[in-house]
Amino acid sequence: MKITMLSTNEDNKSYFTEIDCGHASEQPLGLYSKKFPVKAIMFRDFENGLVMEIHNAPQPQYIIYLEGEVEVEASGGEKRIFKAGDVLLAADVTGEGHVSRTLSKGKSIIVTTVD
């Protein structure tokens, strides 16, 4: 399984990279990755047409999209659309940040990482 990470590079801009979570074990219900330590979980409903202008992630956090679509524009210039089934690790807590735009009504789960 691969997820997308948004992080700050040496030039202080945000960029997307793909991370392979790998498979640590095989269980009766499928292949499992290693465990990732997390701190908290939040559930979010969002409406269509919302824009959060340039900002940084408040802390490293996984965003697991359940419904709807969100466009994220990294300060490095690339735009990506995230939809149901996608996972974004927003880790650009410093630097120029990113812009988020909701393209439709939806739901996501936000899981913050351990400090």
Amino acid 31: pLDDT: 95
Q: How far is CA 89 from CA 6, 100, 103, in A?
A: 6, 14, 19
- The residue among 64, 61, 60, 108 whose CA lies nearest residue 87 is 64
Q: What is the mean pLDDT of each run of 10 residues along the chain (115 residues)?
A: 96 97 94 95 98 97 98 98 98 97 98 91
- The residue among 85, 80, 42, 78 whose CA lies nearest residue 61 is 42
Read off the pLDDT of residues 18-49 as tens digits, 9 standing for 90 and up. Answer: 999 999 999 999 999 999 999 999 999 999 99
- Name the residue range of residue 27's domain: 2-113
Looking at the 3D structure of the chain, how many domains does it have? Answer: 1
Task: State the CB neighbour count (10 A cutoff) for residue 50.
Answer: 12
- Give the separation between CA 78 and CA 85, rounded to whole angstroms: 20
Copy the structure tokens of residue 49: 């047409």
Q: For residue 47, what is the DSSP state?
A: -
We report the CATH number of the domain holding residue 91 as: 2.60.120.10
Amino acid 115: pLDDT: 73
